[in-house]
């Protein structure tokens, strides 16, 4: 099987610590986001496990005010950045769906060939 090529999303250094950026990928424009905690990047499908709504309350706004947790704009559920687990709110114990990314030569790449698996 050929290696997945992916699509360049942005430079890794364009996502600051405690920040995230949203993207629409693949032919059906699956909404994902990439968040940074420290030196690590984490990508998730932009869909709350509670009711399926997008998390961001404004473009690229996925974090709570303290920049500690990801927050769902609909019901205020809080998620850990590192593993997507809901730690407070109506979906406590559920998790965000991780989406595969890589950093190649400083560029964040999403494997949009896999987007259909997440729809």
Nearest to 101 by CA among 33, 26, 15: 33
d(CA 83, CA 14): 21
Q: Where are the domains of the chain?
A: 7-118
For the structural domain made of 7-118, what CATH number should be given?
2.102.10.10
| Residue-level pLDDT, tens digit, the chain, 119 residues | 345 678 999 999 999 999 999 999 988 899 999 999 989 999 999 999 999 999 998 999 999 999 999 999 999 999 999 999 999 999 999 999 999 999 999 999 998 766 666 66
Radius of gyration of the chain (CA): 14
């Amino acid at each position: 099987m050929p290696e997945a090529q992916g699509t360049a999303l942005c430079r890794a250094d364009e996502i600051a610590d405690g920040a995230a950026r949203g993207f629409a990928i693949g032919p059906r424009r699956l909404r994902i986001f990439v968040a940074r905690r420290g030196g690590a990047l984490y990508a998730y499908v932009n869909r709350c496990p509670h009711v399926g709504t997008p998390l961001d309350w404004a473009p690229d706004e996925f974090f709570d005010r303290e920049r500690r947790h990801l927050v769902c704009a609909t019901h205020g559920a809080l998620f850990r950045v590192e593993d997507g687990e809901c730690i407070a709110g109506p979906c406590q114990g559920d998790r965000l769906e991780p989406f595969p990314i890589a950093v190649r030569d400083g560029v964040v790449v999403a494997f949009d060939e896999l987007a259909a698996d997440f729809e």
